[in-house]
Structure 1
Amino acid sequence: AVLPVWNPKINPRDRSHIMPIITPCWPQMNSSYNVGPPQLRRLQQEFARAEQMIGNILQKKGKWQDLFQDGRSFFRQHFYFVQVSITAEDDDSFRIWQGYCESRMRNLIAALECEKAGTQAHPFGKCFRQNNLKGDAENDTGEENAQSVYRSLFYVALRFSPDVESVDLKPLLEDFLNMLNSWDEREDGMDLDVDILLQNELPQFVFQDEECDDDNDDQGSNEPG
């Protein structure tokens, strides 16, 4: 079999990559294939913030520990969020299901980023994993039993242009759910939920160990209208 080699001169798809980081071994591949405009913008914002912090440190206006904060001030800087919940009933199924869903997150992020609709997607770079949660299930007699549930939560913050009054994201989210739930290798117990949450509806653990940052970026408005 012929292995694909990253070559933007002959492959139009490779030319569309916006942040190529090429592996130093054969076959050359782009290790940042999943980076789209929202991810690149987020990286650039963090690079700029880090540069400013280092400048303050060198001028004795800050401490090195400031540079290594957890970064969860992200959840204070936005008002609307898309929460993607990936669950399965055992560890092996969960690893397979999460891997597949995570590989498709770029499709959701790209769809949420729409200049025509006036929306910007700001993905959070980490997921929150919760193992051995106790869910409720009914047995054959109709009685409820507790069962183990493995779950990962991904978050994408939403921002809207100042002139946006309302946006209907339901069709977009339904398409994403249908695409993933129709996977041929999906088994019983592999579930996916996508919800739109306000900041005050987020689970408290996303704010834990947070160092609040008052320097909100000014790209668009947090709230539509």
Structure 2
Amino acid sequence: MASEQAYGVTPPISVQLPTEAELRQSDALLEELKRQKTFESPAETAKREEVLASIQTICDAFVRRVAQEKEPKNEVLIRNARGKVFTYGSYRLGVYGPGSDIDTLIVAPKYVTREDYFKFFPDLLLSMAPKDAITDMAVVTDAFVPIIKFEYSGISIDLIFSRVIQKQLSPDFKDLKDSGLLRGLDEAELRSLNGTRVTDEILTLVPEQSTFKNALRAIKLWAQRRAVYANIMGFPGGVAWAMLVARVCQLYPKATFSVIVNKFFLVMSQWRWPQPVLLKPIEGGPLPVRIWNPKLYKGDTYHLMPVITPAYPSMCATFNITRSSMAIINRELKRALQISESIMVGKRPWSDLFVKHTFFTAGYKYYISVTSAAKTKEAHTIWSGYVESKVRMLVQKLEQHQSIALAHAFNKGYERQHRCHNQEEIEAVQEGSLDYLCKEDIEQTSAVKIEPAVAELPIKAENGENGQLITSENGRGDEQVKSENG
């Protein structure tokens, strides 16, 4: 009898088959996930597929356009010019839900540059998509991974670009598994390609994909509800949570997904950080690129909770985690373990696991808010993204203060539109005033009341068209070292 495939870098903890009680708990958890609306309708999924098909058509037209401009007399090159659209992240993993964005990658032949992408693609997108289908477009050329963000028929798209070394892409160019495709790429292109490569690799490294996907849906919902889901704010992002769930699936290869969820909190709450989470041994490769290795690179030794991507070249997906966010994650894991243990023995319902955080209501005594403002939607998308990317640095500075035990960055900002009539009103908004909110934002703001901030950090902005000002607000909660009676 052939031995079963082994997964991971260690033997499994248990290969026990699920009991009837555990299967019933999985049924109950699946029903709760449906009740929580984590699955979208077939019609919504079909709409996503139509949008991706349209982007593929525009991608091919884009590559042809570049070929015509660079080699107008090369009929063979022009005739065979094509690109390829890949997805990555939650959509490619199959764990997307209503309102999820689609992380999308365009791959083009070697004669197409990133400059060509930003020069031609936005205009082609606007001209070839159905009228008014494209909204809220923002072109960010100087990001860590350069990107075009937009809404296509109401679906959020994050579109990145990379070329490969081939002069042309064959019609059956279907995956990016070959590490040789990474040759000759700069760092931004390497990061772009690796999004899809990592996602595909994760799916090959779990024993049962359906078990993994259902468990990941549950963990993602839990992390979002408990406000510990956001790479930019110092928490694991979607890919990192996926790798953590995948590791637990490897350790319990026969378990049903309710058990995986329960064991996830057990394993991760007891993990001996900074021991890295690996889905397979780190591999070398043909390129002179940096691979995560704390023995070689001092910077890698500072990673507090390293979760390492399985695709070459391996990188740390959780380098953003701070001392405070690590403490918060561990606190939430222990809380969730207690709840899930009670659920598994029938003492509590699954809905208890997904109770919303209390960040703004009972979490902290002191709050700081950072407000970024701009005069147009497009400018605000870029500016607020830049400000948001720096919040983690503020948290790290706060952590160094002797009177602050914990600096907790909230995992997302709140966007508002204000109607201002003069400079005085604009300055009031920059200082945190809600007196000039546009009507459609008033109801939302009253539903999500933010506690008064200890300090406002206004970002200067200009008066926009018709007096419109758009702001985003990010929050942090701070704990003092000393107690009330200390």
The structure with the largest strand share of the pair is 1
Distance 1:154 1:146 in 2: 26
Q: Give the paired residue count.
A: 161
Shift in Å, 1:49: 0.9
The question of 1:126 aligning with 2:446 is answered no
The DSSP-based 3-state class of the residue aligned with 2:307 is coil
The DSSP-based 3-state class of the residue aligned with 1:104 is helix
Aligned residues of 2:414 and 2:474 also touching (Cα < 8 A): no
Aligned residues of 1:91 and 1:150 also touching (Cα < 8 A): yes
In structure 2, what is the equivalent of residue 153 of structure 1? 473
The DSSP-based 3-state class of the residue aligned with 1:34 is coil
Aligned residues of 2:418 and 2:470 also touching (Cα < 8 A): yes
Distance 2:387 2:338 in 1: 35
The DSSP-based 3-state class of the residue aligned with 2:477 is strand
Q: Which moved more, 1:38-47 or 1:5-14?
A: 5-14
Distance 1:97 1:130 in 2: 13
Gaps of 5+ in 1: 163-220
Aligned residues of 2:408 and 2:477 also touching (Cα < 8 A): yes
The DSSP-based 3-state class of the residue aligned with 2:300 is helix
Aligned residues of 1:160 and 1:224 also touching (Cα < 8 A): no
The structure with the largest helix share of the pair is 2
Structural mapping, 1:58-207, within 5 Å? 58-72=344-358, 75-114=361-400, 117-138=402-423, 147-162=467-482
The DSSP-based 3-state class of the residue aligned with 2:422 is strand
The DSSP-based 3-state class of the residue aligned with 1:51 is helix
Residues 98, 61 of structure 1: alpha-carbon distance in 2 compared, 3 angstrom cutoff: same
Shift in Å, 1:18: 0.7
Shift in Å, 1:146: 5.3
Residues 152, 28 of structure 1: alpha-carbon distance in 2 compared, 3 angstrom cutoff: same
Distance 1:224 1:107 in 2: 31
Residues 46, 135 of structure 1: alpha-carbon distance in 2 compared, 3 angstrom cutoff: farther
Aligned residues of 2:359 and 2:410 also touching (Cα < 8 A): no
The DSSP-based 3-state class of the residue aligned with 1:87 is strand
> How well do the aligned residues superpose, as a CA RMSD in angstroms?
2.7
Query: Which of structures 1 and 2 has the larger relative contact order (alpha carbons within 8 angstroms, sep 6+)?
Result: 1
Residues 73, 84 of structure 1: alpha-carbon distance in 2 compared, 3 angstrom cutoff: closer
Report percent identity of matched pairs: 26
The letter for the 2-side match of 1:90 is: T
Distance 1:28 1:9 in 2: 14
The DSSP-based 3-state class of the residue aligned with 1:156 is strand
Greater Rg by CA: 2
Kindly provide the CA deviation profile for residues 31-81 of structure 1, in whole angstroms up to 9, marking residues without a partner as x. Answer: 111101111011111111111111232343322111112213553121111
The letter for the 1-side match of 2:326 is: L
The letter for the 1-side match of 2:388 is: E
Distance 1:87 1:9 in 2: 43
Alignment match of 2:316 (pick from 20, 25, 30): 30
The DSSP-based 3-state class of the residue aligned with 2:387 is helix
Aligned residues of 1:121 and 1:156 also touching (Cα < 8 A): no
Distance 1:72 1:120 in 2: 19
Distance 1:224 1:89 in 2: 47
Residues 138, 103 of structure 1: alpha-carbon distance in 2 compared, 3 angstrom cutoff: closer
Gaps of 5+ in 2: 1-185, 187-287, 425-462
TM-score by length of 1: 0.62
